[in-house]
Amino acid sequence: MEGLEPLFSLVTRRSGSALSRQQRERVAEAARPLLEGRTALELVAHLDGREGARDLLTLLSAASVHKTDLFRDEGQLEALEHHVLAPLVREGRPLELWSAGCATGEEVATLLLLLARVGAHPDSRVLGTDLSSLALARARTLAFSAEAMRRVPGPLAAQHFEREGEVFRLSQRLAGRARFLQHNLMETPYPFAEAARGFDVIMCRNVLIYFTPEAAERTVGALAERLAPSGTLVLSAAEPILKPRADLETVRVGGTFFYAPRRPGLPRPPIEALPPPRPSAPVPPVAKAPPPPRDEPVATSPEQEGEALFSLVMEWAAAGQGDAQTEAGLRKALYLAPDLAAARYCLALLLDQQGLRADAATEYRRALAVLESGRARATPFFLNPERLAAACRRALERRDRVSGVTRADAG
């Protein structure tokens, strides 16, 4: 991969992605035929020009990670369905949703199924966009393997899919509500909603996690501009917006985060805003930056990466790191290793300390469920799962004794 730095810089600039070693290897492999008879700098000049657009797309697609799933992060989807979609549906108008970075279409199908379950207007639409035309070609089929169907709730699977041999295809009634577009989040203009109001929900999950901080920040701003005033931006739990923004406020509901346009002076039913973030201690200088989380299999498994990140987060917390960074670190670790009960317990403790009792209880319960199922991963910090389970139970009992309604209880 020697001498290819200019090429990697171009791919980062044009895709937003901070490239991991695996991504660099894939880009280098895809660039091999294009490099014949050219230097890397000559290739960059070609790719940056009009005639190089198609070749550039090939390299950007090679860098992409398309890991996705139907009903990915059920907890967040449940909150979306009950706290965001259901109130919008009651307005009685068609809704417009956008899955930005939709990969092979699982998220679009999931949104269509949620809209159906919540009784959305039949003219509601879901737009799916992605950089990769190959991924989009698969997305357009809205057909999935039996393995991909494992998380789809039984009644939805029975009602809205038709089996064709080994493949489950979304019914035409729902598939007809999807449209797909090739779009690079690094390029303007962004797609417009059909209604002048803007999109009711924009989902951009597990895309920004690969981006450089600058690219992620720019993308969030551009997506916010396409939201309806009462719209909601959904990112994954692993990519929380940590810096306060002028255009978006964080809303926390059912143990998950959403982002909503700020509307000074106007209440924002039905999801409640978080209070302004508490000032947190400055981040101490640390020896090493956390490894960027990856969906793809790398030298270590995602679970091992999650464990390593958890250890780092605990070290930073012990050194006085602010709560917001600790929370973000724990959430990233849990994204990578959901069965890390100890990390979940620490997250619950942190939420408890912030007075977010209902959210804390959700996390204690999740930790307990993992511990009781025997799936919990042992961590050096908490070698005794029984003691940890007892701590979770005690925390839940303590919580039951505390009176008063919290924001999330009310939400």
Binding region for ligand SAM (CB under 6 A): 15-17, 64-69, 72, 101-103, 107, 130-132, 135, 184-186, 205-207, 295
Distance (Å, rounded) from C-alpha 102 to C-alpha 213?
21
Tell the smallest beta-carbon distance from residue 77 to ligand SAM (Å).
11
The runs of H, that is alpha helices, within 36-176 are 40-48, 53-63, 74-79, 86-89, 106-117, 133-141, 154-160, 172-175
Tell the smallest beta-carbon distance from residue 127 to ligand SAM (Å).
13
CB atoms within 10 A of CB 259: 23
Tell the smallest beta-carbon distance from residue 227 to ligand SAM (Å).
17
Residue closer to ligand SAM (CB basis): 149 or 378: 149
Distance (Å, rounded) from C-alpha 320 to C-alpha 203?
33
Residue closer to ligand SAM (CB basis): 207 or 251: 207
Tell the smallest beta-carbon distance from residue 352 to ligand SAM (Å).
29
Provide the 3-class DSSP secondary structure of residue 224. Answer: helix
Half-sphere exposure of 85 (CA within 13 A, CB side): 28
Contact call for residues 125 and 94 (beta carbons, < 8 A): yes
The helix-helix angle for 357-373 and 385-401 (nearest 10°) equals 150
Residue closer to ligand SAM (CB basis): 15 or 321: 15
Tell the smallest beta-carbon distance from residue 205 to ligand SAM (Å).
4
Provide the 3-class DSSP secondary structure of residue 373. Answer: helix
Residue closer to ligand SAM (CB basis): 183 or 407: 183
Tell the smallest beta-carbon distance from residue 207 to ligand SAM (Å).
4
Residue closer to ligand SAM (CB basis): 70 or 388: 70
CB atoms within 10 A of CB 56: 21
Residue closer to ligand SAM (CB basis): 221 or 244: 221
Instruction: State which H helix or E strand residue 181 sits in.
Output: strand 178-182
